[in-house]
Chain A
Amino acid sequence: MSAVPDSISRADIPYSARTGASSVSQLGAMPPYALELKDLRKSFGKTEIIRGASLAVSAGERIAVIGPNGAGKSTLFNLISGRFAPTSGEVLLNGHRIDGKRPFEINRLGLSRSFQITNIFPKLSVFENLRCGVLWSLGYRYTFLKFLAGLHDANERAEQLLDMIKLHRKRDVLAINLTYAEQRALEIGITIAGGANVILLDEPTAGMSKSETRRFIDLIKEVTVGKTLLTVEHDMGVVFGLADKIAVVVYGEVIAFDRPEAVRANARVQEAYLGSHVADAQVGAR
């Protein structure tokens, strides 16, 4: 019998409030953006993939990042999450510079991401997968002087996550033995496990059927309540249903960033991208 450990209830509080880290106040003006990109550039060899992308996302906004294949959406996510270091430009998370930091440092600052290709711990059980996602955020770091079984807050939080992603029936199943849709759900579970307040989802519904996608989007909405969400998505039905705002990436630039209706009406977007995909979506919706 024990009370709820503080750390559980704290896990969902934004990082800055949790740790007391002071946000950079801009001369008492408006609070910093949850995530801000300033003229971000990335070259591989001589090819410039991201050419001066800029974006400012306020806390709590849900952004869909769309764009044709090869436009640099995934690369953009990789730059933000620290998988690659940008060639130039800045990435700010809650007003702190994070460009050039390692992925784990960025994660500790409150940004978490999922992957387009399922990226889980195949030989660990579903529960263990989630607990691995929880441990650092609850401050257990690299300890080998405590038993996992005794970490009530971590176990409690992992059980909560199991319920949230609706995999409690598969609690002790190895992740490798889950169905594809279940693995995608687990992927999301690991992503939100640490309680990060900025979440990047890279094509969360890739490879799913229509009905699976619909259910999955509801799940994503449910588990990311109150968080800042950026998601790469191809299914236009999903995009317009999920997002407050849409960022259109074409040739490594953000050419439009606005409410869905405004983006739909944007001539440049229609010309570059949207038209064909709206047609696709309509065909797909049938």
Chain B
Amino acid sequence: MSSIPRQIDQSSSRTTGAAPPGARYYEFRPLNVGRWVIWSIFAIVLLGAPMVFTSSLAHTMLSQMGIAIIVCLSYNMLLGQGGMLSFGHAVYSGLGAFLAIHTLNLVSRGSLPLPVSLVPIVGGLAGMLFAVAFGWVTTKKAATPFAMITLGIGELVWAMSLMFPEFFGGEGGVSGNRVTGPAPLGITFGPQIQLYYLIAVYTFICTALMFAFTRTPLGRMLNAVRDNPERVEFVGYDTQKVRYLSFVIAAFFAGISGGLAALNFEIVTSEVVSGPRSGAYLLFTFLGGATFFFGPILGAILMVLAFVLLSELTKAWLLYLGLVFTFMVMYAPGGIASLIMMNLRVAAFGRFRQLWVSYLALAVTALIVLLGAAAMIEMVYHLKLNAALGPELHFLGVTLDAQGLNSWFGSVFVMLTGLGLFEVTRRHFVRQWGEIQEFIEKETKRRESL
């Protein structure tokens, strides 16, 4: 996202200052090969993923990842590109999902001749319409007041979901059936794989559109509003309008994701507009990395892995998630994407070879810490939740006694040893990293002066 192709040859502009109007300019537009390659790879991954991961669990997860990618990217239009910390983005994906499932039911009843594949668009339009109304209020303010108002509106819609069971379906939610209407080319969307490809198409198009948005005047002014809203007002732009329009566009994509989720699960419960859902969008967008366009894609993949796999693995998964989030906010506020980009930069200067041993050491020692900590967390959870099964539990092939001194001492010992080793390797790494950054800075200066 940071490398902006030089669309106009600099040497041409040098001569333009004094040129009379009407003169012709030479323009140089290189074909951006890198971008074509990246987007082709993205398309190929979307196409090929279900062929590589063939289990039905994999197909379910891949579908959810596509949905999550759209919503996290749309959330990042607010967070990363506009500096708007929203605590209520699920309102728009959720209401989009409700409108979509009601539309699907209308289609099923035969009262609306709409192809099932277009139902997510209805979700998108619904999200957009709600944003036109709610966003007018929220985007009046920026920064902390903005966050507060989104929180308020999130609570409001959540409360409404309990008050209007006709629309929100009450406890049981609203269910539908996506196998309905005509089936062109035999595509009924019954099998998960067919729906996956519908989601994949939406994911690709929405990602491309949201990327395109970052290259438009409104998209750029949104960055400017994030950086310095006051200055934006003094270059002719109404910051509130920039935020409002972007908010509405983001809600459109959130709604599409909601619509796809409605098709995918064939049931929509009021949980989809809830605060925890909004929080999950925030958390994983941040984890993936809000400062780069592709960060939320990584975040979305992690979100599905955590919700589906990690939650199967351990009851304490939310605790682990919270720990990871805390560490990321403290040590890598740019998320995974920025970690990747920083290391690519090091690699571009040919210094990555020095680092990988340190990374290996860091990973191993961190794993030891995690092992000790996880053993204790699991023992606590076992005592609290599974006390009836006795004090013994199996953890990674080892039998632990949750009430035995040995197990506790062992775990503490493993964790402390790990911590000590980790700290040693960390200090070494920090020194190494600093040296490399210094080298890179010198090198860039040298190249600039050439």
Contacts and interface: CB of A to CB of B under 8 A. Distances in A.
Interface string A130-159: 011101110011111111110110011001
Size range of the chain B interface in the assembly: 35 or more
Contact residues on A (Cβ < 8 Å of other chain), bracket: 35 or more
Contacts, number: 151
Q: Which of B228, B242, B448 has most chain A Cβ within 10 Å?
A: B228
B330 interface: no
A193 B235 contact: yes
Given A120-B228, A148-B216, A169-B448, A2 B235 contact: no
A3 B235 contact: no
Contact of B24 (A1, A127, A140, A144): A1
Contact of B216 (A120, A145, A164, A171): A145
Interface stretch (A90-98, A100-108, A209-217, A240-248): A100-108
Contacts of B219: 144, 148
Contacts of A282: none
A90 to B, nearest CB: 21
A53 B153 CA distance: 46
Given A104-B233, A136-B235, A142 B13 contact: no
A113 interface: yes
A121 B81 CA distance: 13
Interface in A158-183: 159-160, 162-164, 168-169, 171-172
A107 B101 CA distance: 47
A81 interface: yes
Nearest to A9: B21
A159 B21 contact: no
Nearest to B19: A4
B27 A1 contact: yes
Given A128-B220, A144-B217, A144-B219, A163 B13 contact: yes
A142 B221 CA distance: 8
Contacts of B231: 115, 119-121, 190
Contacts of A164: 17
B216 A121 contact: no
Given A102-B233, A104-B233, A132-B235, A121 B10 contact: no
Contacts of B179: none
Contacts of B224: 121, 124, 132
A164 B17 CA distance: 9
Contacts of B17: 160, 163-164
A168 B8 contact: no
Interface in A234-265: none
Interface of A: 1-4, 6, 8-9, 81-82, 102-104, 107-108, 112-113, 115, 119-125, 127-128, 131-133, 135-137, 140-149, 151-152, 155-156, 159-160, 162-164, 168-169, 171-172, 190, 193-194
8 contacts: A107-B236, A120-B228, A124-B227, A127-B4, A135-B220, A144-B249, A148-B219, A159-B16
Interface of B: 4-8, 10, 13-14, 16-17, 19, 21-27, 212-213, 215-221, 223-224, 226-228, 230-238, 241-242, 245, 249, 448
Given A107-B235, A124-B220, A143-B216, 7 more contacts: A4-B16, A121-B223, A123-B227, A142-B237, A144-B216, A144-B249, A155-B8
